Amino acid sequence: MNGSGIISGLWITFRHLMNTYIQDFQKGRKHYYTKEGIADRCAADTKGIFSIQYPEERLSIPENFRFIPFLVYREDGNGNKSILCTSCGICAKVCPPQCISIKRTTDPNTGRPVPTPAEFYIDVDICMNCGFCAEYCPFDAIKMDHDFELSVVDNRKSNLFDMKTLLKPETYYAKIRPTYFAEEESSRREKEAAKKAKE
């Protein structure tokens, strides 16, 4: 019959519309602006409304999420900061758009390189967020961030990140990637124990 296809199609859209109201009625207020509500609306069995009201509501970021690298520093009890980076240059070598530039420190007396960076720059405008630098860093010194809200008024002035902007504490890293951090921590402890046992 002519028109039956259109009617059965319209029935699907109508059901979709009604589902939103049914869900609202069942779930009540906590369906919006709460963590459970957002998770519920993103689940595989969700019905009705699907969208998230950004920025009032935010999707939860999975731990694997990667955006713009940062450098990790460690702080001991006395407030001494130590940068984990040894300026070996692997991140600069593996970076596909070549957005990382590192200046190695040289000892002024001997002229030999010292394993810490003197300058470290990332051109955020051309960083493609591939995550290779964090993946191949042998010292766990460079990691991918979770902070994706980077819009600035003048990118010409602020989008060349230097060491001051890039450095973030290890505790921050532990907060955004708890399982990664735990894994790395345990493997480091094992290595240290093995080293001690050798001695």
Partner 1 sequence: MTEAVVNDITLLLNEKFNLRVIPDSRPGYSGYIVPGDILLSFCIFLKTELGFDYLSSVTGVDYFPEQRMEVVYHVYKTAGCPVFCFKTTTDRENSSVPSIVSVYPGAEFQEREAWDLLGIRFEGHPDLRRIFMWEGFNGFPLRKDWHEPYFEEDFKPLKSRWPDGHGFRAEDSNHFHDNIELPAGFNPDSFTPEDEEPLYKTLLGSLGGEKGLKTDQIVVNLGPQHPSTHGVFRMAVVLEGETIVELKPVMGYLHRNHEKIGERNTFIQNMPYTDRLDYITSMSNNFGYAITVEKLMGIKPPERAEYIRVIMAELTRISSHMMNIGFMMNDLGAFFTPALYGLEERELILDIFEAVSGSRMMCNYFRFGGVFKDVSDTILAKIKALVENRLPGKIDDFDRYLTNNEILMSRCIGVGVLTREQAISLSTTGPILRASGIKHDLRKADPYSIYDRFEFDIPVGTHGDVYDRYKIRLEEVRQSLRIIKQALKDIPTGPIMTGKPQYMVRVPAGESYGHVEGPKGELGYYVISNGKPNPFRYHVRAPSFINLTSLAKMSVGEKIADVIVILGAIDIILGEVDR
Residues at the contact surface with partner 1, assessed by CB under 8 A: 2-6, 8-9, 12-13, 16, 42, 44-45, 50, 62-66, 87, 89-90, 92-104, 113, 119, 121-123, 125-126, 128-132, 135-136, 144, 156, 159-160, 162
Kindly tell me which of 2 and 80 has the beta carbon lying closer to partner 1.
2
Is the Cβ–Cβ distance between 117 and 102 less than 8 Å? yes
Which is nearer to partner 1, 28 or 46 (by Cβ)?
Answer: 46
Nearer to partner 1, 76 or 154 (CB): 154
CB of 144 to partner 1, least distance (A): 7
CA distance 167 to 28: 44
Q: Which is nearer to partner 1, 128 or 152 (CB)?
A: 128
Q: How far is it, in rounded angstroms, from Cα 6 to Cα 10?
A: 6
Minimum CB–partner distance for residue 76 and partner 1 (Å) = 28
Query: In this structure, are residues 145 and 67 in contact, taking their beta carbons and an 8 Å threshold?
Result: yes
The CB-of-177 to partner 1 minimum distance in angstroms stands at: 11
Q: Write the burial class of residue 28 (CB in 10 Å: 0-12 exposed, 13-18 middle, 19+ buried).
A: exposed
Main-chain phi, psi angles of 35, to 5 degrees: -60, -45
